[in-house]
Amino acid sequence: MTRHRQETHGAQSVTGGPPLLRQINQRKILAILRSEGPARVGELARHSGLSRPTVTHVLDQLSEAGLIDYLQDHPDGRGQLGRPARVARFRAEAGYVLGIDIGPHQTAVIVADLDGRSVATTRRSTSSAHDQHQLLAAVRSAIETALEQAGVTEQAVLSVAVGSPGIIDRRVGTVVRAPGLPGWTALDLGEELGRFFRCPVLLDNDVNLAVLGERWRGVAQDTDDVVFVLWGERVGAGICIDGEVHRGKAGAAGEIGYLTVLSKDAAVAEPDGEGRGPFEREVGARAIIRLAHELAARPGHTSSLAGRPTLDVPAVFAAAAADDPVGREVVDTVAARLAAGLAPLLLVLDPDMLVIGGGISRAGARIIDSVAAHLRRLVLVPTPVRLSALGQDAVVTGAVRQALSEVEQRLLPNPETARDGAD
């Protein structure tokens, strides 16, 4: 009630206002510095609508808190009365955030400053980790290496966001279900990683972070409603609606690996022995290799893929690019299958854009074009289909974005809302 009175009736004097108002003014000035870059008191007063004495006072407070400092050499700065104009600058190095992507093959860590600039990046193979303990040790080692490279202490880390496969219970930071990672299911990852840091550790499904990454720095920067489909051994979708990740009531939104649209007869959404859903079994990496073996073994066909004891996805896609008939048939078949699974998603959401990423998508634009062509026949209103711009960095980039958002919500104003705040 008291706080409300303050908000309504405001301050009676410029510098003697109540704490909340001071905080509002601090946020306003910080937001302008973050969005517009270094600025002098007069510029800040004009942008903020605050008086020059208020701006000066707020800058002193922010400087004391370590969030700004002063430049003496503003590019177009000129002194008043012969004195050099004090130019205030947001200290992006006042703190750091960590983005982490834990996958079945590798773990990636990015250390970024408060402007989101990457200061250090580490990748560590996790293929050889056979249990929870080894996997966590590899993750920890990657974090330590990244911090060391960046010259950043754990105390300077203000927020950590982690992407992991599986259905995540974000309230308690637990991986509820994660096929494909040894010992990962039922792991209290939030608590385990929380031991490394004093700051908040946010856990999310990796594809949910990938969609944030593409919206922040990838192909989906101008979209509000966008779907990121991870297409690799696993298949899953990250869904962004009105700029927010849609996770569903149990964190299971976008689990399209369990679609049964391609299954015959009495299909059920059940994982196989290795935790793969029905749709993943039809369009995942293993299905592609199996299909290539089958088609190449047909009598009467000549294919560069025939008779090769081992095949991998890049080899099959390279054959398709070289106009090998079997390669082309495989690509067209899996593209048609993927489109059959994605069509319901597009009919349901009618998003601004569909982004396809993951290991298989990196085989190139040809398969994306083929998927898009199949999709056009299956939906009412076509959706632009794009290849992920961030590739294997989509998840870890989204994790940095998520950690920054957490800091901004808790400590800093978001530069994107600066203009709203200043008008």
Angle between helices 325-349 and 313-321 (to 10 degrees): 100
Residues 71/87, Cβ–Cβ less than 8 Å: yes
For residue 248, state whether it binds a copy of itself (rule: CB under 8 A).
yes
Report the distance separating Cα 305 and Cα 11, nearest Å: 77
How near is the Cβ of 47 to a copy of itself at its closest, in Å? 9
Nearer to a copy of itself, 74 or 386 (CB): 386
Is 273 near a copy of itself (CB under 8 A)? no
Q: Which two tokens stand for residue 160?
A: 């950590």
Q: State in angstroms the smallest separation of the CB of 43 from a copy of itself.
A: 14
Distances (CA, A) of 99 to 140, 143, 225, 408: 13, 10, 23, 15
* Contact region with a copy of itself (CB under 8 A), list: 86-94, 259-267, 327-335, 398-406: 259-267
378 near a copy of itself (CB under 8 A): yes
Q: Which is nearer to a copy of itself, 9 or 83 (CB)?
A: 9
Asked if 403 and 160 touch (Cβ cutoff 8 Å), the reply is yes
Residues 6+ apart with CB under 8 A from 30: 62, 67, 68, 90, 412, 413
Candidates 30, 32, 158, 167; binder of a copy of itself (CB under 8 A) is: 167
> Shortest distance, CB of residue 25 to a copy of itself, whole angstroms?
8
Least separation in angstroms between residue 49's CB and a copy of itself is: 5
- Using CB under 8 A as the binding rule, the residues of this chain from 71 to 90 that contact a copy of itself are none
State the residue for tokens 């908040």.
200
Asked if residue 373 binds a copy of itself (CB under 8 A), the reply is no
User: Which of these ranges, 18-26, 111-119, 179-187, 315-323, lies near a copy of itself under the rule CB under 8 A?
Assistant: 18-26
Q: Name the one residue in this structure whose structure tokens are 């009412």.
A: 380
Q: What are phi and psi of 32, to 5 degrees?
A: -65, -45
> Which of 76-84, 262-270, 303-311, 316-324 is the region at the interface with a copy of itself (rule: CB under 8 A)?
262-270
- What one-character DSSP code corresponds to residue 83? B
Which of 58, 340, 354, 394 is close enough to bind a copy of itself by CB under 8 A? 340
- Choose, by CB under 8 A, the member of 314, 347, 416, 419 that binds a copy of itself: 347
Specify the amino acid at residue 397: T
Pairing, β 118-125 against β 167-169: unpaired
Q: Quick check: 222 binds a copy of itself (CB under 8 A)? A: no
Stretch of 85-93, 100-108, 151-159, 342-350 lying at the interface with a copy of itself (CB under 8 A)? 342-350
Length of the chain: 423
What percent helix, strand, coil does the chain show, rounded to 5?
45, 20, 35
Q: Is there binding between residue 241 and a copy of itself (CB under 8 A)?
A: yes
Select 48 or 303, whichever has its Cβ closest to a copy of itself.
Answer: 48
**Which of 348, 409, 410, 416 touches a copy of itself (CB under 8 A)?**
348
Q: Kindly tell me which residue out of 38, 116, 351, 358 binds a copy of itself, with binding defined by CB under 8 A.
A: 351
Q: Give the tokens for residue 214.
A: 């593409």
Number of residues that bind a copy of itself (CB under 8 A): 60
Enumerate the β-bridge partners of residue 353. Answer: 226
Residue 171 engages a copy of itself in binding (rule: CB under 8 A): no
DSSP one-letter code for 39: E
Taking the least distance from each CB to a copy of itself, the nearer of 39 and 343 is: 343
Q: How far apart are CA 116 and CA 403, in angstroms?
A: 10
Among residues 183, 194, 344, 364, the one that binds a copy of itself under rule CB under 8 A: 344
- Please give the angle made by the CA atoms of 53, 55 and 60, to the nearest 5 degrees: 95
| Residue 265 in contact with a copy of itself, rule: CB under 8 A | no
Minimum CB–partner distance for residue 394 and a copy of itself (Å) = 20
Question: Which residue, 140, 182, 213, is CA-closest to 392?
Answer: 213
Closest CA to 352 of 209, 239, 204: 239
Binding site for a copy of itself (CB under 8 A): 1, 4-5, 7-12, 21, 24-25, 49-50, 167, 177, 225, 237, 239, 241-242, 244, 246-256, 258-261, 267-269, 277, 340-341, 343-345, 347-352, 377-381, 383, 422-423
